[in-house]
Structure 1
Amino acid sequence: MNMTVRLPGEWRHAQRWATAGAVFVFIAVLAFGPLIEHSLLERAFTAALYLALGLLLVALSGRFAFGLAAAGLLTLVLEVAAHLKYKYLTTPLLAPDLVYMINADTLRTMSRYPLLVGAASAAALCVPLLLWLAWRMERVPPFAHRRRPWLTRALLAAFALLAAGEAMSTTGPFAEAHAKGMWLAMTDASLITDFLISFRATSVRAPAYPPQAADAYDWKRGDADAGAGAALHPRPDIVAVLEESTFDPRILAACTLRLCDRRMFHSDRRTLAHGLMVVHTWGGGTWTSEFSFLTGLSHEEFGPAGLYAPFNLAPRIRYTLPRVLRANGYRTVAIYPTDGDFLNGRNAYAEYGFDAFYGGEQVGLGWESTDADLLRVFARVYAEEKAKANGQPLFLFMLTLHQHGPHMTPYAKLRAPYDRPLFAGRMDDWQNLNLANYLERLDQSDRAMARLEDMLRASGKPVLLVHFGDHQPSFDGAINGIAKRLPSGIADPSRVTYYMLKGFATPLRRYDYPVLDLAYLGGLVLDAAELHKDAFFTANALLRERCRGRYLDCGQRALADSYRADVFGQLKDLDE
């Protein structure tokens, strides 16, 4: 039976336009999307999935123009959303964003940016309209002339699904693309690939351990008398400062100028501990360093989903530094330099156990705020919170922001002597510009830290001050081309920053580690304050001593297995 359908001339003309337009959209999106991914393998990977999507939508809809237009427009929306997220947050769009970041807080944040509102509105209006037009203009489905069009469509759909499944298989032809680490996926330019491979990062993976290993070592020793000294001395206020994108530049082999040598990295008679610190991120991901400091854990222990710690780990971690400080009678306070809704900050800090949270919108801080701005806010909040505390000691945690990338302000806008290449002949032009920016901002941080120390010392009250770098800046990747001078045994030179712990009007009990992991810093503060530690931080301190400050790279497998069996098996630190 002949199934050919004849159309009036005007409809045939409209259908030709619809088909031509759909083909143009499909090819244009392919050319400016999948085919501009970072590597040849990633281009092939995303192109294969894009073609499979187009074929699947043609088969399911039974319409050629509509299927191609739908595949092109949906992919275009993904590309635009990924580029906008990268522009505003410097991280690509990833699959877990669909779980953790589509909420009222995100919509309120987006409403403050006209470009985001305009792009979202245009997509919401134009995409459905264009798809409706493609559907209406295509009067004859492509399979109408066949005897069994449904069978042809089913076979094409099955082929498309099989092809997509093979491409998405971590052991298939694109296994190398899937093997890319999630942190690299958060920092490179392959926005479509990064989104596609990130679906495995949507669920938290509990750390593995042999259950019977917990009893191989004693993880309770010292718990009973850990806070014995607290009865002999007043509990000190504790001020913790996370220094954004900050490291000691003297680890760079070429950074031998006096401008590289800053007081904030030097010990003095009030120093309890200081030195190099291993962190678990590079170039970004401040929230993962917050997580490590506040929980004594590494986000990497929970698989790729650990990158979303403020969303998926903060509500599930049972033992945290703010909670143990509250058990010791402290009032816990956080100053957040950006909007409190950014990366779920307000909710995450409540889950970590903070009594009070000051978002940037409350205290006049934002992306352009300097360390001096933060210091002024600190002075005001500290005074207000001391009044509220009514004799309770305070734990106040704050984050700086001024050192956040990019570090590409032109020399003409930098003050002397940072207004010129400082390492000509030793670094290339891009490295020189970025390092000049970094050192100029570091000078400001150094002066602000000196004023903070003076302020705390002048009070005459017992205070511990701890400050540390959350990660190295990336300089758009250029920092990895600068030689570094570091002790042997450090596996990844890009993951080294610094820490400093000082005491004012407190007993001087000193600690010395060749390199300290950030996961131990909170427990070290508890020891320096001579406070009672809970079962987790007791075990954390014992592992710190047994591994001499190393954590993920401790090198003693049996010890690490026993520790995780105790923390996650016995103590149930991760709620199911």
Structure 2
Amino acid sequence: MRQPAWIQSLQASRASSIAAIGLLVAVAGYCLAFERSLYAAGWSLLILALLVLVLGRLLTSSLALAAIVLSVVTVSIVKNHILQIALHSSDILMISNWDMQKYLWSDQRHYMVALYASAALIIAMLAAVYMRDTSYIPRITGFAILAIGSLFFFTAASAHSEHPEFNFTSVNRHLTNFYASLRETTGIAQNRSYFGISNNVKAAGINQERCNRTEDTPNIIMIHEESLFPPSLYSEIEYDRSIDPFFKSVDGDLHLLRVETFGSGSWLTEFSVFSGLSTEAFGGVRSMAPAIMTGKLGDSLTQWLKSCGYTNIELSPFPEGFAFSGRFLRSIGFDRIIDRKAQKASTFNERDAFYFNNAIAEMKKHFADSSQPLFTYIMTMATHYPYDYTYAPEENVAGGTAKSAPYIDEYLRRVGLAVRDYRAFVSTLKASFPSKKFLILHYGDHQPIVTGNLAASSSTSSDPRSSIGYLTYFAFDTINYTAPPLPKQKIVDIPYLGSIALMMAKLPLNEATASRLSLLEECDGRYSFCPKKKLIADFQERLFETGALKVH
């Protein structure tokens, strides 16, 4: 009996077929032996079937699959090495942002060179193999393979009840984690609902009010301190104790802030400060929270400040489009974003004094032309990794030591520089604007990667979000202004910080802000993990009912 043409083709190209089978065995072996995941094997077979259907070549498709698997695993290992976070498929969307690529090129150039070179090599190799590949698979056979692959995928996943959720801290199953994250990433394109709210929810809305500012309110300065936290959190760290007062507020106390990211992801903290919401609601795609929620908020910190007559400006070390933050910030009431280019910064991590001096210059221009109060948001970067070189070597500043924390000395040097620059900034404010009132809020956006081992050894809870590694600080200072008492909670979750700032500025509070401050008391500082979860859910449903929060 005459054999089908595609089988004759495979027999004629025996070397290609053997090579293809070898690659497939290697991929299957990795999925089953190393990740112990039929789910990953099922996904890989499904991708192979799609590649065969599109390319019509068994060897090229097998090689492409092997390249995908190897790339995902390698990039996940590198990401985990840097950030202690697993690779998520939405990272592809994030890195497609041109300003993010420019930042990574400046900050992690050796990794970006390796990424670009590897991508070019893989494309060239696949093109060369495709031109010589004789393992032809007809389209009808491709559809049959796709059907088999789909059946295996759904059967394997169902039989083992896998369909795993993406786990930020699970880094031993790189491929499984990546495949599991695909459902969350496709949810962005499908405009899925977040916060557990459906369109048919019925709740009492929150009143949409206008701010009737009656007294002479302070100008507000909010400083997003990169990678800053109180070193006193870890007993293992030895450091210059003269920096401790920097972390304390006007009341003389240290106030701890629980953030939702570790080692990186400044834009996640930024999102929660301004939105009053938790990025936990977005699951594995929380890195895309600013992009997802652009144009969907009506109750942000800066929108209320604008209603109170404030002019809102930002001074950023990044290009405006970085991590989609520029569009997000403009959608919530920022009047001007003075980015890296506008400030004529030569690097991404200028001294804090560079941004502070630029802020002083902007304030002088504003106060000369306008009687409106000013909200100035400043991001710093000097304390950002990497820490394998001496920053500002001409400066004599104390460092520190800690066992199991490589590069902690250099990190603590930079903290010392940050404290020095902040104190000089406050002195300059007093001298430049002797009659102006200022409320200054500075806070740490996340801990640096160098505390990873310390946080792991200090953790006593099975809940990773309760880890000491998610604690930073917030502090208020004043100039010519008397602030009210701060909340009494020992630790405050990041979504409350914007509402606390409004309270400290003695501004009229709308119902949403008053409700958040009530939740702060009811939940003892917790938000997403508040023991009274229904209170948080009801509050978010009320925001939705009013239109202050759009979930689609």
What is the deviation of 1:524? 1.6
- 1:97–1:278 CA distance, 2 compared to 1 (3 A): closer
Separation in 2, partners of 1:81, 1:482: 26
The residue number in structure 1 matching 2:195 is 207
Alignment check: 8 A CA contact 2:87 2:174 kept: yes
1:254 CA displacement:
2.6
CA distance in structure 2 between the partners assigned to 1:162 and 1:555 by the alignment: 42
Equivalent of residue 441 in structure 1, options 414, 423, 428 = 414
**What is the TM-score when the length of structure 2 is the normalising length?**
0.81
Instruction: Determine helix, strand or coil for the equivalent of 2:35.
Output: helix
Matched to 1:377, the amino acid is N
- Contact preservation (8 Å) 1:249, 1:260: no
Aligned in 2, Cα 1:108/1:456: closer, same or farther, shift over 3 Å?
Answer: closer
Q: From the superposition, tell whether residues 571 and 283 of structure 1 become closer, same or farther in structure 2 (CA, over 3 Å).
A: same
Match of 1:516 among 466, 482, 492: 492
Pair 1:47–1:417, CA change in 2 (3 A) = farther
Q: How many residues align?
A: 533
Instruction: Please tell me whether the aligned partners of residues 97 and 323 of structure 2 are also in contact (alpha carbons under 8 angstroms).
Output: no
| Alpha-carbon distance in structure 1 between the residues aligned to 2:506 and 2:5 | 86
Distance change >3 Å, CA 50–CA 274, structure 1 → 2: same
Does 2:455 match 1:480?
A: yes
Which residue of the partner structure matches residue 239 of structure 1?
221
Evaluate the alpha carbon distance shift between residue 30 and residue 445 of structure 1 in structure 2; reply closer, same or farther with a 3 A threshold.
farther
| 1:357 Cα deviation after fit | 0.6
Shift of 1:479: 2.6
- Cα shift at 1:117: 5.2
Q: Is the 8 A contact 1:306 1:313 kept in 2?
A: no
Change in 2 beyond 3 A, CA 1:166/1:239: farther
What one-letter code is carried by the residue in structure 2 that aligns with 1:276? L
Deviation at 1:71, TM superposition (A): 2.7
Using the TM superposition, give the Cα deviation of residue 368 of structure 1 relative to its aligned residue in structure 2, in angstroms. Answer: 3.3
1:184 alignment partner, SS class: coil
The residue type paired with residue 222 of structure 2 is A
Q: Residues 251, 17 of structure 1: CA spacing in aligned structure 2 closer, same or farther, 3 A cutoff? A: same
Query: CA separation in 2, counterparts of 1:485 and 1:414?
Result: 41
| Structure 2 partner of 1:316 | 296
C-alpha distance in 1 between matches for 2:100 and 2:90: 14
The residue aligned with 1:533 is 509
- The counterpart of 2:245, out of the listed 241, 255, 263, is 263
Q: TM-score, normalised by structure 1?
A: 0.78
2:13 is aligned with what amino acid?
Q
What does residue 146 of structure 1 align with?
A: none
Aligned partners of 1:28 and 1:276: how far apart in 2? Answer: 49
Does 1:422 find its partner at 2:401?
yes
Q: CA deviation at 1:322?
A: 1.1
Alpha-carbon separation, structure 2, partners of 1:333 and 1:244: 18
Q: Work out whether 1:340 is the aligned partner of 2:320.
A: yes
Following superposition, the deviation at residue 321 of structure 1 comes to: 1.0
Q: What root-mean-square deviation, in Å, do the aligned CA atoms of Structure 1 and Structure 2 show?
A: 4.3
Mapping 1:146-225, distance limit 5 Å: 156-167=145-156, 169=157, 173=160, 175=162, 178-181=164-167, 183-184=168-169, 188=171, 191-202=174-185, 203=187, 204-208=192-196
Q: Which moved more, 1:319-328 or 1:15-24?
A: 15-24
For each residue in 1:346-368, what CA deviation from the matched residue of structure 2 results, as whole angstroms up to 9, or x when unmatched?
A: 22221222111122233205333
Instruction: Give the structure 2 partner of residue 41 of structure 1.
Output: 35
526, 532, 535: which one aligns with 1:559: 535
Distance in structure 2 (CA, Å) of the matches to 1:129 and 1:206: 45
**Residues 1:374 and 2:355 are matched in the alignment:** yes
Whole-Å separation in 2 of the counterparts to 1:305 and 1:240: 27
Q: Distance in 2 between matches of 1:274 and 1:449?
A: 17
Q: CA deviation at 1:385?
A: 4.1
Does the CA-based 8 Å contact 1:86-1:92 persist in structure 2?
A: yes
- 1:45-103 CA-to-partner distances (Å, cap 9, x unmatched) read 53553355446655787654344234334545656776788899997653334556546
Instruction: Indicate the residue corresponding to 1:18 in structure 2.
Output: 16
Quick one: which amino acid aligns to residue 326 of structure 1? K
Gaps of 5+ in 2: none
Contact 2:226 2:379 in 1 (8 A): yes
- Any idea what SS the aligned residue of 2:222 has? strand
The residue type paired with residue 366 of structure 1 is: T
Asked if 2 retains the 8 angstrom alpha-carbon contact of 1:227 and 1:530, the reply is no
Shift of 1:293: 0.6
Q: Which residue, out of 531, 544, 551, partners 1:568?
A: 544
Judging changes above 3 Å, is the alpha-carbon distance between structure 1 residues 336 and 193 closer, same or farther for their aligned structure 2 residues? farther
* C-alpha displacement of 1:540: 1.9
Give the drift of 1:457: 2.6
Secondary structure in structure 2 of the residue aligned to 1:231: coil
Distance 1:157-1:4 versus aligned 2 partners, 3 A rule: closer
Superposition deviation, residue 554 in structure 1: 3.5
For residues 384-417 of structure 1, the C-alpha deviation after alignment (integer angstroms, 9 at most, x for no partner) is: 4444x52221111111122223444589x89888
Unaligned runs of 5+ in 1: 144-148
1:390 aligns with 2:370: yes
Structure 1 288/457 Cα, relative in aligned 2: closer, same or farther at 3 Å? Answer: same
Match of 1:403 among 383, 394, 397: 383
Please tell me whether the aligned partners of residues 317 and 575 of structure 1 are also in contact (alpha carbons under 8 angstroms): no
Kept in 2: contact 1:262–1:446 (CA 8 A): no
Q: Per-residue deviation at 1:336? A: 1.5
Write the deviation string for residues 5-56 of structure 1: whole angstroms up to 9, x where unpaired: 7999xx999824433554565567778xx56x9x943676535533554466
| Mapped contact 2:83–2:262 kept (Cα < 8 A) | no
Describe the shift of the 1:84–1:329 C-alpha distance in structure 2 as closer, same or farther (beyond 3 A). Answer: same
Equivalent position to 1:501, from 454, 471, 476: 476
From 102, 127, 135, give the equivalent of 1:138.
Answer: 135
1:386–1:94 Cα change, 3 Å: farther
In structure 2, the CA distance between the partners of 1:15 and 1:415, relative to structure 1 (3 Å rule), is farther
2:89 to 89, 95, 119: 95
Contact preservation (8 Å) 1:259, 1:439? no
Cα offsets for 1:291-336 (capped at 9, x unmatched): 1111111111344333311211233222111111111111111112
- SS of equivalent to 1:361: coil
- Pair 1:132–1:189, CA change in 2 (3 A): farther
Distance in 2, Cα, partners of 1:415 & 1:172: 62
- Residue 89 of structure 2 aligns with an amino acid whose one-letter code is A
After TM superposition, the structure 1 stretch with the greater mean CA deviation from structure 2, 113-122 or 330-339, is 113-122
